[in-house]
Amino acid sequence: MTEDTEVSRKVWAGRIITGLVVAYLLFDSILRVLKLDAAVGGFERLGYPESLVVPVGLVELAGVILYVFPRSAVLGAILLTGHLGGATAAILRLENPWFLLPVGLGALLWGGLYLRDDKVNALFPLRR
Q: Which DSSP symbol is given to 69? A: S
Q: Domain count of the chain?
A: 1
Q: At CB < 8 A and 24+ separation, what contacts does 46-55 make? A: 46/90, 46/91, 46/93, 46/94, 47/90, 47/93, 48/90
> Do 29 and 57 meet the contact criterion of CB atoms below 8 Å apart?
yes
- Predicted TM-score (pTM) above 0.75: yes
Residue 128 within a domain: no
> Do 115 and 6 meet the contact criterion of CB atoms below 8 Å apart?
no
- Tens digit of pLDDT for each residue in 51-67? 999 999 999 999 999 99
Bin 88: left if φ > 0, else alpha if -120 < ψ < 50, else beta: alpha
Residue 58 within a domain: yes
Residue 127 within a domain: no
Output 127 or 87, whichever has higher pLDDT: 87
Domain that holds residue 44: 3-122
For position 126, what pLDDT does the model report? Answer: 75
- Tens digit of pLDDT for each residue in 59-104? 999 999 999 999 999 999 999 999 999 999 999 999 999 999 999 9
Cα radius of gyration rounded to whole Å, the chain: 16
- Tens digit of pLDDT for each residue in 11-32? 999 999 999 999 999 999 999 9
What single letter denotes the amino acid at residue 106? G
